[in-house]
Structure 1
Amino acid sequence: MNKKISIQDTYGERFQHCWGCGPKNEGGLHLQSYPGEDGETCVCQVTPDDQFTGGVPANLFGGMIAMIFDCHGTASAAWFAHKNKGLDLTPDTVIGRFITAHLEVDFLRPVPMNEPVTVTSRLEELTDRKAVIIMEMEAAGQPRAKAKMVAVDVKKDM
């Protein structure tokens, strides 16, 4: 049986320590993003724990919503750039890394705690240096937040 490879699992060693999505951050959330089966999207699923509640009980706080978009968006940017080069994810892949240059979030409805949340991204624009990513967060079949990100590739001397 083939295990799906998350985009974050293909980050180079120095990029695997992010609190939100780094596979090597022991205290982190270990968010994982995967290329969608349609080849045009990336998907991340997470179930927020009670500790991340916001000012309104039983709802996810806004900073955590933005952090999920941040980690998933940069992973998506890396995947779309990788795919654009005609490459696949394999166990040996070391994918190029992107970071957030701009993140704009619209909060539409409260995000419930302890329920699965799905974030889906799609590529709006890709150049040699940047990717523009559009994302939507949904839970219980309803849109909860949307975001637009400009992500830039990490230079080797960074």
Structure 2
Amino acid sequence: MEKYICIQDTYGERFQYCWGCGPKNDMGLHLKSYPSEDGKSVIAKIIPDKMYTGGVPQNLFGGMIAMIFDCHGTASAAYFSHKNKGLVLNKNTVIERFITARLEVDFKKPTPMNEEILVSAKLIELGERKAIIEMEMKVKGEVRAKAKMIAVKVKDNM
């Protein structure tokens, strides 16, 4: 079923090497994004390794927060575009790829280390080549950061 398919696992071969979310990057983070049961949002959960601490050792590095939003947002854009075409995710899907055109991050509270981070994304607007995605990062139900992304569909010859 669609809700158990990781969006990043459906990227075409040449797009599977991203450090943040690429399943084929041996040194990467391997962030995984999944559609919610109702298909209205996309969810990722992660507990970052201790090496990603910020200037305050018990908090996550801000650049890592932006990277998580970056990878999760583009996966979400790909999913929402795919769904909008009336398609579902399955093990044979090769989803169209989106990349970040703009990412705005609002840091609300420090994001603690050694805790599960929940990132949710929802679609705000979808055009032929562009998606606008809003995201929230929570730890233990508290919003730690918010982001807004403009993602654009990659042309086949990129």
TM-score (norm 1): 0.97
| 1:6-155 correspondence to structure 2 within 5 Å | 6-155=6-155
Deviations 1:81-128 (A, max 9, x none): 000000000110000000000000000001011110000000000000
Q: Which runs of 4+ in 1 moved over 4 A?
A: none
Classify 1:2/1:40 alpha carbon distance in 2 versus 1 (closer, same or farther; 3 Å): closer
CA distance in 2, matches of 1:130, 1:87: 18
Identical aligned pairs, as a percentage? 68
Classify 1:2/1:42 alpha carbon distance in 2 versus 1 (closer, same or farther; 3 Å): closer
CA distance in 1, matches of 2:123, 2:156: 24
CA distance in 2, matches of 1:3, 1:121: 14
Segments of 5+ residues of structure 2 without an aligned counterpart are none
CA distance in 1, matches of 2:101, 2:49: 28
Matched residue SS, 2:4: coil
CA distance in 2, matches of 1:65, 1:50: 14
CA distance in 1, matches of 2:37, 2:111: 25
| Structure 1 position 55, deviation (Å) | 0.5
Q: Is the 8 A contact 2:69 2:135 kept in 1?
A: yes
| Structure 1 position 38, deviation (Å) | 2.1
| Structure 1 position 37, deviation (Å) | 1.0
| Structure 1 position 74, deviation (Å) | 0.1
Q: Residue type of the partner of 1:31?
A: L
CA distance in 2, matches of 1:106, 1:100: 17
**How well do the aligned residues superpose, as a CA RMSD in angstroms?**
1.4
CA distance in 2, matches of 1:18, 1:25: 6
CA distance in 2, matches of 1:147, 1:69: 7
Segments of 5+ residues of structure 1 without an aligned counterpart are none
CA distance in 2, matches of 1:3, 1:88: 10
Q: Residue type of the partner of 2:29?
A: L
